[in-house]
Amino acid sequence: TVERVLDIANVLFHLEQVEHPQRSKKAVWHKLLSK
């Protein structure tokens, strides 16, 4: 479902922020959308 996809995206986004706080949101979303 869309909700599940968003939940996964939020978790991955949070992990990216913790591990790579210097990265921009655009880079994270590009990474997610490229999969």
Does the pLDDT value for residue 27 go beyond 80?
no
Mean predicted confidence (pLDDT) in 10-17: 78
Mean local confidence (pLDDT), 2-13:
89
The residue-averaged pLDDT of 8-31 equals: 72
Segment 16-24 mean pLDDT: 62
Tell whether the model's pLDDT for residue 22 goes beyond 70.
Answer: no
Distance from C-alpha of 6 to C-alpha of 18, rounded to nearest angstrom: 18
The pLDDT value given to residue 7: 92
User: Where do the structural domains in the chain lie, given as residue ranges?
Assistant: 2-33
